[in-house]
Amino acid sequence: MIVKILDVKIGTVCLRPNAKDYWVLSELDNGEIIEIFDLIPIDLRGYEGKYLDCLIEACVGEIEEDTRFIIRGKFIQEYFLPSKWKVIYDPEVNHSAVETDN
């Protein structure tokens, strides 16, 4: 998914040197603004205003009754990661996905 990076803020700083997580405010192709919690410590500060190709991984658990959480798209039961993402994610793990307009 191509996103435009709007803003990057440091989330938490761990005791280990340079170990951080980030909140990345991004704009999707359709103009929707999303905030991404980047757990993998890749410092995207300095990329504001630039477009990046991203793989957005989400874990969905129980959601409070008054919370709106809508993902519209085509559910893909078995999704095989493109080779460019296999450096980060285990290629042997089966993934599911939601293909969106973005």
Domain range for residue 39? Answer: 2-59+69-99
The stretch 12-28 carries a mean pLDDT of 76
Q: What domain count does the chain have?
A: 1
> Between these two residues, 44 and 71, which has the higher pLDDT value?
44
For 7, the token pair is 């803003």
pLDDT tier, 64 (very low <50, low <70, confident <90, very high otherwise): low
pLDDT exceeds 70 at position 89: no
Quickly state the pLDDT bin for 68 (edges 50, 70, 90).
Answer: low
pLDDT score, position 51? 95
| pLDDT value of residue 100 | 80
Q: Does some domain include residue 64? A: no
* Inter-residue contact 22 to 49 (CB < 8 Å): no
Q: Which of 53, 73, 56 is closest to 5 using CA atoms?
A: 53
Radius of gyration of the chain (CA): 15
Q: Report which DSSP code applies to 26.
A: E
